[in-house]
A and B are shown apart, each in its own frame.
Chain A
Amino acid sequence: DIQMTQSPSLLSASVGDRVTITCRASQSISNRLAWYQQRPGKAPKLLIYKASSLEGGVPSRFSGSGSGTEFSLTISSLQPDDLATYYCQEYSTGILKTFGQGTKVEIK
């Protein structure tokens, strides 16, 4: 099974900061990676798919990059509304879908 490892687990930053979350796969998944945002007490929301494609309606301050085993999610200018936990998810095998353990983003 593919393992997904996110870092850091907790990130504290100020409004306006550029923040980057990393996700590493235990084997190559090409670009079959999605990113989700989960605000406190809410359902997850799709942000990015195919590693770098922005889902419709998602603010352009969110971007994704990477391929193979190394991926990143960047928020170009952190906003108060971005307080959430972010998850990566691989979908390379067509069967099992594995999530990373999550990165909690706090606002200083």
Chain B
Amino acid sequence: EVQPVESGGDLVPPGGSLRLSCAASGFTFSREWMTWVRQAPGMGLEWVANINPDGSDIYYLDSVKGRFTISRDNAKNSLFLQMDSLRIEDTAVYYCARDSRGGVFDFWGQGTLVTVAS
């Protein structure tokens, strides 16, 4: 069964840092694009960043460029999101998902909650 599992969410103060992880299983991780999508409390879905199979092609939402870094370790079937200079508006559940067929998110993790507050 394809099942991404996120971890690393926490309560952090504004300006702080956090690193999210996503452990993938059930598919050949090293061959797939992966993505992060977030959902602020009571709000809709917002794509954050994605990365190609070998990590050489990366894209970000404008509002997180320069603050967030997506990366992967194919040997460990893991995806990461390093979040620096966190803002209150970054508060959300962060989902990792497989990004297939040119931009379709076909398998999602259960999400991890990031709360930015003082």
Across the interface, name the chain B residue whose C-beta is closest to A49: B104
User: What bracket does the count of chain A residues touching chain B fall in?
Assistant: 20 to 34
Find out whether the CB atom of A97 lies under 8 angstroms from the CB atom of B47. yes
Find out whether the CB atom of A100 lies under 8 angstroms from the CB atom of B103. no
Chain B residues whose C-beta falls within 8 Å of the C-beta of A38 in the assembled complex: 45
CA distance A46 to B98 in the complex (A): 11
Main secondary structure of the interface of B (DSSP, over half): strand
Find out whether the CB atom of B45 lies under 8 angstroms from the CB atom of A44. yes
- Which of A43, A45, A49: most chain B Cβ within 10 A? A43
Interface flags for A39-55 (1: CB within 8 Å of B; 0: not) read 00011111001100001
Interface flags for A71-108 (1: CB within 8 Å of B; 0: not) read 00000000000000001010100111111111000000
Q: Is B31 an interface residue (CB 8 A)?
A: no
Q: Is B46 an interface residue (CB 8 A)?
A: yes
Chain B residues whose C-beta falls within 8 Å of the C-beta of A95 in the assembled complex: 59
Find out whether the CB atom of A43 lies under 8 angstroms from the CB atom of B59. no
**Hey, which bits of chain A sit against chain B, CB under 8 A?**
32, 34, 36, 38, 42-46, 49-50, 55, 87, 89, 91, 94-102
6 CB-based A-B contacts, threshold 8 Å: A46-B106, A91-B103, A97-B35, A97-B50, A99-B47, A102-B44
